[in-house]
């Protein structure tokens, strides 16, 4: 009898710091166990190299920043039955997308001796801006348990769980004391997508929104509690502009409620 074939998996890197690929490597023994259940055909950081292999599942880290990236992601999509974007770079453009609001050509001219040798797209964009993405894992970086949960679901033939809830839910499930309540310091947990396991509150620090904004944040309530703890100050009397007007309205409402 023919042995059942294992699903073929690839891990691809685009413009990124490699931190999300490290989440695979940091799985340690779990990675060895995973390698017995799937066939890792391309994962440059771990060894196997076959970037054009036909695969059942492709993990993609990083954003699309160069013409070569653009051509490569389309090729990967054609060769993959399912494509999963991992990390803030792949799902939102990442740190490198900060240049989207600047004059990139001017930066290149100022930084590089041979600007004509640098091939760069005008904007750094998430994977879903160019090809269909079957699932997105948010985080900077993503965590090993997030990756394992997705792979396990797919191996069982189930849809991966989209954990779009806020970090506070993980914080409570793990029985951490709320640093906002117990120490009176502001925390981004209520407006940040779960997935990190509430790492920062677990270390007695406040969440810094490294995962991603929640899909349905509750910013008003968060602004009120943060304002109560002093992280949002009333605008100074001489300040102007749209955001200042918004802050003034917020403070007027707050003073009325108080």
Residues contributing to the site for ligand SF4 (CB under 6 A): 16-17, 19-20, 61-62, 87-89, 94-95, 140-141, 167-168, 171, 178-180, 187, 189-190, 198, 201, 206-207
Residue with smaller CB distance to ligand SF4, 20 or 27: 20
Region for 19 from its dihedrals, namely left if φ exceeds 0, alpha if ψ lies in -120 to 50, beta otherwise: alpha
Residue with smaller CB distance to ligand SF4, 151 or 200: 200
Q: How far is the CB of 13 from ligand SF4 (least distance, A)?
A: 8
Nearest partner of 62 among 34, 84, 31, judged by Cα: 84
Give the nearest residue (CB) to ligand SF4.
189
Q: How far is the CB of 26 from ligand SF4 (least distance, A)?
A: 12
Q: How far is the CB of 17 from ligand SF4 (least distance, A)?
A: 3
Q: How far is the CB of 218 from ligand SF4 (least distance, A)?
A: 11
Residue with smaller CB distance to ligand SF4, 8 or 207: 207
Residue with smaller CB distance to ligand SF4, 40 or 207: 207
């Amino acid at each position: 009898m023919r042995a059942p074939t294992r699903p073929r998996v690839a891990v691809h890197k685009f413009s990124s710091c490699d931190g999300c690929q490290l989440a695979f490597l940091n799985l340690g023994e779990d990675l060895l166990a995973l390698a017995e259940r799937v066939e890792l055909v391309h994962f440059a950081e771990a060894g196997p190299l076959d970037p054009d292999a036909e695969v059942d599942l492709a993990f993609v880290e990083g954003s699309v920043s160069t013409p070569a990236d653009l051509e490569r992601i389309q090729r990967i999509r054609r060769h993959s039955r399912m494509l999963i974007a991992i990390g803030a770079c792949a799902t939102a453009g990442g740190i490198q997308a900060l240049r989207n609001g600047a004059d990139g050509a001017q930066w290149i001219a100022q930084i590089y001796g041979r600007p004509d040798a640098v091939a760069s797209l005008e904007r750094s964009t998430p994977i879903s801006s160019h090809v269909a993405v079957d699932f997105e894992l948010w985080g900077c970086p993503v965590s090993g348990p997030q990756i394992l949960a997705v792979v396990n679901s797919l191996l069982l033939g189930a849809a991966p769980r989209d954990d779009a809830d806020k970090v506070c839910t993980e914080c409570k499930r793990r029985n951490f004391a709320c640093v906002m309540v117990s120490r009176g310091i502001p925390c981004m947990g209520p407006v940040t997508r779960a997935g990190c396991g509430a790492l920062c509150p677990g270390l007695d620090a406040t969440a810094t929104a490294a995962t991603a904004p929640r899909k349905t944040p509750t910013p008003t309530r968060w602004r009120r509690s943060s304002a109560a703890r002093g992280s949002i100050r009333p605008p100074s009397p001489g300040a102007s502009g749209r955001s200042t007007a918004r802050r003034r309205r917020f403070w007027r409402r707050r003073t009325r409620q108080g």
